[in-house]
Amino acid sequence: MVKGVQFRNHEIIGDIVPLAKRYAEEGADELVFYDITASSDGRVVDKSWVSRVAEVIDIPFCVAGGIKSLEDAAKILSFGADKISINSPALADPTLITRLADRFGVQCIVVGIDTWYDAETGKYHVNQYTGDESRTRVTQWETLDWVQEVQKRGAGEIVLNMMRLPKETQVHRHAPSSGRRA
C-alpha cells in the first residue's frame, strides 16, 4: 500500500491487509482503496488482496482502479468488496455508470471526479488519468456538469478530489500555437 499527496509522491507505507484491519479496529466506518495507476496503465486493479481484506474487516469497503466493464466489477464484488468506484473509465464511456447501477444497484456505484480550478476562466474542469502525471489530461467537462451527468446516470456516491494540475499540463494546455491540447 502506498500513500501520496494529490495522488503524487507515493511512499510505501505497508501491506494492505494489516493496515485495513488496523483502520477498521480504530473505528473507521468505511475504507476506500484506489489503484490510481490502473486506468492509465490499461489494467484492472489487482484482485488478489480484495478477498484477504474482506476476511479481516467487518466494515464496508470500496475498490477502484481500471474497472471498465460489468465483468470487472462483478469479479471485485465477488471477492468481497461492497462497492466499486470508477473515474477515468466513466469519462471514456459514461454509459458504464448506468450499466453498473442497473446490474449492481446505485448503492454499490461510486464515481470519482478529479477536478481543478482554472484561474483564467474561473471554472472548475474535470481531469482524466490523474494516476500518471504524463497522461493527465483536461476533459471537456466542467465539474458541475459532470457531477449532474453522473448523478443522472446512476452514481450512488461521488468522491470529488480537488487536484493541482501539473505545470507541464498547464503549459501544454495554454500553448496557443503548438497544436497540443491536454
CB count, 10 Å around CB of 123?
14
Instruction: Work out how many domains the chain is built from and give that number.
Output: 1
Could you read off the pLDDT of 114-172 as tens digits, one per residue?
Answer: 998 888 889 999 987 666 676 677 788 999 999 999 999 999 999 998 876 555 444 34
Mean pLDDT of all residues in 12-37: 87
Residue 179 lies in a domain: no
Residue 181 lies in a domain: no
Radius of gyration of the CA atoms of the chain, in A: 17
Q: How far apart are the first and last CA of the chain?
A: 30
The winner for highest mean pLDDT among 1-5, 43-47, 143-147 is: 143-147
Alpha carbon distance 93, 110 (integer Å): 15
Domain range for 152 is 2-174
CATH classification at residue 38: 3.20.20.70
Residue 42 lies in a domain: yes
Query: In one letter, which amino acid is 142?
Result: E
Closest alpha carbon to 43 in 16, 58, 64, 19: 64
Residue 180 lies in a domain: no
